[in-house]
Amino acid sequence: MTDKQLPAMQRLTRTDERILQSDIFERDAKEPRQDLGTVHEPGRDVTVYRDCDVLVVGGGPSGCAAAAAAAREGADVVLLERYNHLGGLSTGGLVIWIDRMTDWEGKLVIRGFAEELFDRLPADAVAGPAPEDWGSQDKDKAHHWSFRTAAYHGIVTWSPTIDPERLKLLSQELLIERGVKLVYHSWAAMPLMENGKVAGATFESKEGRMAIRAKVVIDATGDGDLFARAGAAYVNDIEEADVHHCMNTAWLFGGVDMARWIAFRSGQPEEFTAFMAGGRETCGLFERPFVSWRDDIALFMGPRQSGYSALDVDDLTAVEVRSHRAMAAHLEYYRAHAPGFENAYMMLSAPQIGVRHARRLKGVDAVLRSRWSEGTALPDEVAVTPAVSPKFPNISIPYGALVPEKLDGLLAVGRHISCDRNSHGFMREIPQCWLTGQAAGVAAAIAVKHGIEARNVDIDELQQALLAQGAYLRPRKEAVAAAAKEQACA
Ligand SMILES: Cc1cc2nc3c(=O)[nH]c(=O)nc-3n(C[C@H](O)[C@H](O)[C@H](O)COP(=O)(O)OP(=O)(O)OC[C@H]3O[C@@H](n4cnc5c(N)ncnc54)[C@H](O)[C@@H]3O)c2cc1C
């Protein structure tokens, strides 16, 4: 491949504001779509499939956490998912590297639903450092885990890789145990609207179009399909200097020897640099492998492609075409040049396309870059996330980031919650999606129990219910009591 044929590439290096260093590849030119006018679709009556308290649309990390949490609070919950499994991108997208759940001191702050999952995943389905090493700055340990996606800035973190099939199965069984009604192979189409509020959704399946009525809808589609169609305000600006706007279809190579690959990468830096340069020259789009939950399987979560829209069917198709071609080109190059990949084979390309960003809700509040340094609990804190680097303290996630500015009957969770583009870099990660999902699930159940709008739930009640479900947060009540005590002593 000549320089002219190489796709435009920029290289992002890690900073205190971002998680990854990566190559990013610009999109191919787009053929304009012809304007062919419209056809008229007549109105019709639609069969009601079910009534429920809480309808969760989307079975990714945030949707699973929301459904589990709402059901645990006693709500009658339905979860609608367009594919045949739960876990969303964390399983079907082969995003099997679960980002940091410990803060930079090694304290586990991503708890609740996340902990339940890790307590129940079989030992051989998880690879990562032992709890006694979380937060360790031991040079040897940090060096070892830095090649296994579990040490950054010289600190060992709890950011394991997992077996996607085990997570699919566990998520499914956990939700069924809680009494959640699962509906697979069903694609939510439009929100049902009553007096300006969301009151359920219609969906398409092999049975045609049907409807589910619900007291609260939780939009866990990742792309804000429901809140956008219900007329809620949203934004979609991006941070160019991050990977959070890139798309690609991830894949797995089997038959590899990751120990040999890591020995090469860590022990022969000059050869590794030459290998990468050769790969970019030969393949154009080029990516390095990550470890998986097994030493004989390698994970590729790129090449990351920029400039495509996750809401445009031609762009989605183009990313798939490019990614599948990249997978084949990588196999050839890696087999020929990468120690440990001589016997590699194409094991699986992800059934779900890797979309990091589409829309972000405009909520009554948001997770904001301007607050990263504060380190204090917001009054309506529903969760706490580790910061992107040790430079910042842990960051407070407000309930207001899940509540639309104006629209009622709906909460948003996961990678499309209300946040600015910088904070989206980490709020879209799987652990943070579990957090916001669990918070919204509990809030929705409380709203149903009291017959009130989700935006009006009592924050003390919400915080106490989340704590009872094992979540980590700093409740307002305690902060108020501590401030009063301090004042009394002064
Ligand atoms: C390539 C890539 C690499 C990444 N790397 C990491 C990483 O290393 N670590 C990390 O923690 N995170 C990573 N992320 C981010 C993370 O995987 C996602 O942001 C996270 O999974 C989002 O969770 P979610 O529940 O919001 O949405 P999703 O995981 O996207 O789940 C949404 C679910 O909703 C379903 N759905 C969507 N629309 C409809 C509809 N209309 N009707 C019915 N169902 C619908 C989908 O089928 C899907 O199952 C990465 C993401 C990508 C794309």
Atom of ligand 1 nearest to the CA of 58: 34
Residue 5: per-residue pLDDT: 54
Q: In this structure, what are the phi and psi dihedrals at residue 197, rounded to the nearest 5 degrees?
A: -105, 155
Residues with CB under 6 A from ligand 1: 57-63, 80-83, 88-90, 93, 95, 97-99, 187-188, 220-222, 225, 248, 250, 301, 354-356, 414-415, 428-431, 433
Residue 245 CA, ligand 1 centroid: distance in Å: 13
- Beta carbons of 92 and 352 less than 8 angstroms apart: yes
Same domain, 450 and 489: yes
- Beta carbons of 55 and 203 less than 8 angstroms apart: no
- pLDDT digit string, tens, across residues 391-400: 999 999 999 9
Residue 413 CA, ligand 1 centroid: distance in Å: 11
Same domain, 254 and 342: yes
Instruction: Count CB-CB contacts under 10 A for residue 208.
Output: 10
Last residue of a domain, one of 328, 355, 382: 355
Residue 483: per-residue pLDDT: 67
- pLDDT digit string, tens, across residues 437-461: 999 999 999 999 999 999 999 999 9
**Is residue 482 assigned to a domain?**
yes
Same domain, 323 and 362: no
Last residue of a domain, one of 292, 325, 355: 355
**Is residue 6 assigned to a domain?**
no
Cβ neighbours of residue 241 closer than 8 Å, sequence gap 6 or more:
12, 15, 17, 18
More confident residue, 13 or 172: 172
Cross-strand pairs, 200: 213
Residue 490: per-residue pLDDT: 67
Same domain, 184 and 264: no
**Is residue 149 assigned to a domain?**
no
- pLDDT digit string, tens, across residues 346-380: 999 999 999 999 999 999 999 999 999 999 999 99
Last residue of a domain, one of 335, 355, 375: 355
Same domain, 351 and 361: no
- pLDDT digit string, tens, across residues 232-291: 999 999 988 888 999 999 999 999 999 999 999 999 999 999 999 999 999 999 999 999
Give CA separation, 137 vs 18, 103, 461, in Å: 20, 13, 39
- Beta carbons of 91 and 167 less than 8 angstroms apart: yes
Atom of ligand 1 nearest to the CA of 249: 1
Same domain, 289 and 377: no
Same domain, 280 and 375: no
Q: Is the pLDDT of residue 485 over 90?
A: no
Same domain, 275 and 307: yes
**Is residue 178 assigned to a domain?**
yes
**Is residue 206 assigned to a domain?**
yes
Same domain, 486 and 394: yes
- Beta carbons of 434 and 62 less than 8 angstroms apart: yes
**Is residue 32 assigned to a domain?**
no
CATH number for 90: 3.50.50.60
More confident residue, 176 or 2: 176
Same domain, 383 and 314: no
Same domain, 238 and 274: no
Take residue 317 and report the two structure tokens written for it.
Answer: 């198709």
Same domain, 72 and 218: yes
pTM: predicted TM-score of the whole model, two decimal places: 0.97
Cβ neighbours of residue 482 closer than 8 Å, sequence gap 6 or more:
none
Residue 35 CA, ligand 1 centroid: distance in Å: 32
Pocket test for ligand 1, best of 311, 429, 434, 436 (most atoms within 8 A of CB): 429
Instruction: Count CB-CB contacts under 10 A for residue 130.
Output: 9
Domain assignment of residue 317, given as a range: 246-355
**Is residue 153 assigned to a domain?**
no
How many domains does one find in the chain?
A: 2
**Is residue 293 assigned to a domain?**
yes
- pLDDT digit string, tens, across residues 141-176: 999 999 999 999 999 999 999 999 999 999 999 999
Residue 356: per-residue pLDDT: 97
